[in-house]
């Protein structure tokens, strides 16, 4: 029987190895995992942390994911769509502040009005954020859900170059447990494929600690990330939202919070060991569970942080889960706070750079 140290000494991992890493339950082995992930991060992507200013520009959504606070059936939510000018002003502010990249995130809509609106926003952001520091304008990641190939292509052509679409789980039965029938696992896979074909840096992610999710499911998720050759990863712990159908799992969630949080950190570290040079976000959901969760994520191998720069009055209307942090901070405070938090764990924030995935850059070099 292999010890955790034996597994960590390997260059590659079987599904069983991954399961054993995720099952770690002693502080000694957790420290070994953290140290290995950190070392591998230093070797493959370095110690820098890259920022993405997160603009949650609309909470309209055509979908009804059972776990999500802004699902279309949640009538308690006040719906908003920021204007083009509001989005552009936020982007310009971010570029001037030193953010090299932003994420444009919204609920899902694939109607022509919405897609052309996003297309126009991207074009204007690129044109208006060029400077000596950012000769090609801000880097733009999109996270706006499933679109057609043609729509992905249009937005890529407009200037977005990264796309995040979470698969949420690669167990199709579990996917059905957390989504209505109208949302298809196969279509999500096809969308990921289209994003990749279009030329975006591809990002995905899963929820960790879902009711009925097994260690094997999570190991399969990790192997899936490798198989589809992702460039970016944004995973977070499952957090219950009490105005959704999944409130039925609130006892499960509150009784298992500590384990879910620890499992999320182990997933970050194990993903780093398996995927090596991809960008891994330390997500806000970690901070929602524990005030220093985002910094802990960095200590377990993450290298990207996404401070929220959405105006205050809209943040409280974009609650995918309960207990979301930083609802009152203004965006300037978030910037300063984030940098000092990153420094508090001995890491340096890189300003005025896109911070592209090293994995993507390496692939381009190999194919040149």
Question: What residues line the site for ligand SF4 (CB under 6 A)?
Answer: 61, 63, 65, 68, 70-71, 107-108, 145, 320
Separation in Å, CA 194 to CA 100, 168, 199, 301: 26, 18, 9, 28
Closer of 145 and 205 to ligand SF4 (Cβ): 145
Give the list of residues 6+ apart from residue 245 with CB closer than 8 angstroms, or none: 66
Find the DSSP H helices in 45-170. 84-97, 112-128, 149-158
CB of 145 to ligand SF4, least distance (A): 5
User: Which letter does DSSP use for residue 62 in this model?
Assistant: S
CB of 62 to ligand SF4, least distance (A): 7
- Minimum distance from residue 141 beta carbon to ligand SF4 (Å): 15
Nearer to ligand SF4, 8 or 61 (CB): 61
d(CA 81, CA 85): 11
Q: Least Å distance between CB 249 and ligand SF4? A: 16
Closer CB to ligand SF4, 208 or 320, in the complex: 320
CA distances, 356 to each of 128, 276, 283, 302 (Å): 21, 14, 17, 14
Minimal distance, residue 109 CB to ligand SF4, in Å: 9
Count the neighbouring beta carbons within 10 Å of the beta carbon of residue 78: 9
3-state helix, strand, coil in the chain (%, to 5): 50, 15, 40
Query: What is the Cα–Cα distance from 188 to 181, expressed in whole angstroms?
Result: 13
When the beta carbons of 63 and 279 are compared against ligand SF4, the nearer one is 63
Residue closer to ligand SF4, measured from CB, 13 or 66:
66
Closer to ligand SF4 by CB, 108 or 217: give it: 108
């Amino acid at each position: 029987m292999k010890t955790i140290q034996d597994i960590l000494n390997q260059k590659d991992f079987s599904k069983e190895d991954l399961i054993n890493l995720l099952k770690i339950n002693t502080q000694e082995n957790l420290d070994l995992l953290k140290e290995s992930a950190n070392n591998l991060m230093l070797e493959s992507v370095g110690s820098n942390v890259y920022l993405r200013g997160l603009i949650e520009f609309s909470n309209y959504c055509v979908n009804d994911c059972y776990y999500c606070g802004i699902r279309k059936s949640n009538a308690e939510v006040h719906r908003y769509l920021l204007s083009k000018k509001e989005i552009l002003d936020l982007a310009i502010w971010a570029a001037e502040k030193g953010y090299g990249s932003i994420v444009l995130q919204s609920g899902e809509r694939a109607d022509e009005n919405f897609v052309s609106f996003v297309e126009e926003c991207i074009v204007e952001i690129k044109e208006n954020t060029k400077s000596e520091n950012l000769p090609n304008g801000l880097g733009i990641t999109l996270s706006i859900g499933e679109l057609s190939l043609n729509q992905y292509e249009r937005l890529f052509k407009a200037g977005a170059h990264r796309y995040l679409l979470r698969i949420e789980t690669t167990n199709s039965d579990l996917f059905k447990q957390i989504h209505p029938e109208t949302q298809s696992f196969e279509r999500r896979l096809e969308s990921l494929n289209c994003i990749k074909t279009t030329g975006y840096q591809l990002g995905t992610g899963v929820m960790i600690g879902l009711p009925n999710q097994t260690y094997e499911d999570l190991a399969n998720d990790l192997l899936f990330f490798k198989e589809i050759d992702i460039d970016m990863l944004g995973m977070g712990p499952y957090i219950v939202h009490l105005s959704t159908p999944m409130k039925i799992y609130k006892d499960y969630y509150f009784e298992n919070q500590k384990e879910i949080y620890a499992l999320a950190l182990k997933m970050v570290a194990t993903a780093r060991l398996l995927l090596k040079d991809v960008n891994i976000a330390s997500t806000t959901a970690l901070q929602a569970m524990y005030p220093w969760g985002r910094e802990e994520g960095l200590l377990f191998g993450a290298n990207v942080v996404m401070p929220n720069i959405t105006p205050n009055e809209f943040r409280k209307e974009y609650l995918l889960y309960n207990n979301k942090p930083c609802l009152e901070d203004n965006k300037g405070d978030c910037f300063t706070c984030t940098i000092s938090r990153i420094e508090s764990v001995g890491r340096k924030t890189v300003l005025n750079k896109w911070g592209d995935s090293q994995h993507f850059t390496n692939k381009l070099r190999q194919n040149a």
